[in-house]
Amino acid sequence: MKKKKIASLSVRGFNRPVNFVFNIVIALFAISCVLPFLFVLAISLTKESALQQFGYSFWPREWSFYAYTFLFDQMKDKMLQSLFVTVLVTVLGTAINSTATSLYAYAISRNNFPFRRFFTIFCLITMLFSPGMIANYLVMTNLLQLKDTIWALILPMAVSPFNIIVMRTFFKRSVPDSIIESARIDGASELRIFTQIVLPLAVPGIATISLFAALGYWNDWFNALLYISNDKLIPLQYLLMKVQNNLQFLTQNAGAGSQIAGGLAALPGESARMAIVIISTLPIAISYPFFQRYFVKGLTIGGVKE
């Protein structure tokens, strides 16, 4: 009894300093992830003349909200419309992506599916090899006739091969065959098995791939550049990119010697770029804590068997 108590005390004495060191390392890593965002936020709140005179700093020499007011003045007629398009595309795209990915992954994860090997190799090939931008553009515009439609922003990313592989592994590790066989013996259909048995067990995995899909749809601007010319369908990221390009063009030509050169020189170049980063990343960063519990569980489940 005494030996067991001494062994437990020695283990505890060994674990405490190790845990303390690891906590410090993790805390430093967390701070290193947060500091760049705070640095960008500080630059966006710094007056442009102070940036040119003193350079970058974590604490602004002269506070100014001119970068945000400038962006709002530039986008006030289109910002709400673009935000609505982005939210609509993100919600619909995430729902379609998670549904299609889950159905595909569940099919190839079952041993009784006769074509699982073919569809698994097909998924891996599409992940490793891409047809190229020209082929994608011809399919979207000529074959599917989706140019200047909301579906041109959704369908190109509706299925993710990487998410399919993640969910396939999740289903194989987390959904036992015995549960599915029991449901089949009781007379349940495949659709009922998937909706009432498999999906409740797969909530962490679905939340993980949904977060990946939502990030992709929220940050996407390239599909809008290719397929959208209607101003009413421009997403927020593409609108911010257009504002940044226009601002960069104006600041580069500020010293052209014209009568408006002084006004162009006063434009918030660097601070506006940082404000664009804050506007584009803050909404999705706020929503991340709501998915964190499922996200961590979805990435780690199946790694260690109890």
Instruction: Output 284 or 250, whichever has higher pLDDT.
Output: 284
Indicate whether 129 belongs to any domain.
yes
Is residue 219 a contact partner of residue 143, using CB atoms and an 8 Å limit?
A: no
Quick one: average pLDDT of 51-60?
A: 78
Residue 298 has what pLDDT? 52
Indicate whether 127 belongs to any domain.
yes
Q: Which of 83, 86, 90 is nearest to 211 (CA)?
A: 90
Q: Which of helix, strand or coil describes residue 63?
A: strand
Q: Is the pLDDT of residue 37 over 80?
A: yes
Q: What CATH number does residue 212 fall under? A: 1.10.3720.10
Residue 251 has what pLDDT? 64
* Inter-residue long-range contacts of 168-173, CB under 8 Å, 24+ positions, other chains counted: 168/105, 168/108, 168/109, 168/120, 169/302, 170/105, 170/202, 170/204, 170/205, 170/298, 170/301, 170/302, 171/105, 171/106, 171/109, 171/110, 171/198, 171/202, 171/205, 172/109, 172/302, 173/301, 173/302
Residue 90 has what pLDDT? 92
Indicate whether 241 belongs to any domain.
yes
Is residue 101 a contact partner of residue 202, using CB atoms and an 8 Å limit?
A: no
Q: Is the pLDDT of residue 267 over 50?
A: yes
- How high is the mean pLDDT of the chain? 79
Q: Is the pLDDT of residue 140 over 50?
A: yes
pLDDT digits (tens, 9 = 90+) for 26-35: 888 888 888 8
Quick one: average pLDDT of 234-241?
A: 85
> Which residues 6+ apart lie within 8 Å of 221 measured at CB?
235, 237, 238, 240, 241
How far is Cα 204 from Cα 161, in angstroms, rounded to an integer?
Answer: 18
Indicate whether 82 belongs to any domain.
yes
Is residue 45 a contact partner of residue 62, using CB atoms and an 8 Å limit?
A: no
Q: Is the pLDDT of residue 93 over 90?
A: yes
117: its two tokens: 């090997």
Indicate whether 107 belongs to any domain.
yes
The 10 Å Cβ neighbour count of residue 256 is: 9
Indicate whether 103 belongs to any domain.
yes
Domain that holds residue 242: 66-300
Quick one: average pLDDT of 87-110?
A: 91
Domains: count for the chain: 1
Residue 5 has what pLDDT? 47
Indicate whether 296 belongs to any domain.
yes
**CA 174 centroid distance within chain:** 25
Quick one: average pLDDT of 1-23?
A: 60
Indicate whether 56 belongs to any domain.
no
Q: Is the pLDDT of residue 101 over 60?
A: yes
User: What φ, ψ does residue 63 adopt, rounded to 5°?
Assistant: -75, 145
> Which residues 6+ apart lie within 8 Å of 155 measured at CB?
140, 144, 146
The 10 Å Cβ neighbour count of residue 128 is: 8
> Which residues 6+ apart lie within 8 Å of 161 measured at CB?
123, 124, 126, 127
DSSP state of 197: I
179: its two tokens: 């549960």
How far is Cα 129 from Cα 162, in angstroms, rounded to an integer?
Answer: 13
Whole-prediction pTM:
0.76
Q: Which of helix, strand or coil describes residue 175?
A: coil
pLDDT band (50, 70, 90) for residue 10: very low
Residue 304 has what pLDDT? 41
How far is Cα 165 from Cα 124, in angstroms, rounded to an integer?
Answer: 8
pLDDT digits (tens, 9 = 90+) for 158-191: 888 888 988 888 888 888 878 888 888 888 888 8
